[in-house]
């Protein structure tokens, strides 16, 4: 009996655990280009949301809209740090 348990223990220890991949979504999204964000933005605005998905869709939409605005300002040469003076 001890031989069986020793073999079982060896197999459990030797078999690797499945690897879990953790994705940093913020890092991934920051590497997207403006065309990628425009695609996501248009896709989200064309769909109709109902019930429980409304809150999640709104949150995601605002994040995409924010990233889109940042990428557009970078593409337009704006730094986002420029000060607007009252006239």
Angle at CA of residue 41, ends 31 and 56, nearest 5°: 95
> What is the phi/psi pair of residue 13, to 5°?
-70, -40
Residue 11 lies in a domain: no
Range of the structural domain that residue 74 is part of: 25-79
Calpha distance 79→35 (Å, rounded)? 19
Q: Report the number of distinct structural domains present in the chain.
A: 1
Give, in order, the Cα–Cα distances in Å from 50 to each of 39, 47, 56, 57, 58.
21, 10, 11, 10, 11
- Condensed to tens digits (0 to 9), the pLDDT of residues 29-72 reads 667 788 888 888 888 888 888 888 888 888 888 988 898 888 88
Q: What is the pLDDT confidence band of residue 80, given thresholds at 50, 70 and 90?
A: very low
Rounded Cα–Cα distance for residues 2 and 5 (Å) = 5
- Whether 39 maps to a domain, the answer reads yes
Report yes or no on 9 lying in a domain.
Answer: no
Residue range 17-36: average pLDDT?
Answer: 75
Q: What is the pTM of this model?
A: 0.47
């Amino acid at each position: 009996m001890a031989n069986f348990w020793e073999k079982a223990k060896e197999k459990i220890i030797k078999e690797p655990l499945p690897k879990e991949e953790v994705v940093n979504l913020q890092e991934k999204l920051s590497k997207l280009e403006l065309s990628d964000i425009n695609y996501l933005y248009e896709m989200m605005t064309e769909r109709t949301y109902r019930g429980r998905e409304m809150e999640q869709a709104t949150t995601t939409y605002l994040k995409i809209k924010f990233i889109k605005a940042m990428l557009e300002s970078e593409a337009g040469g704006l730094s986002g740090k420029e000060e607007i003076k009252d006239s």
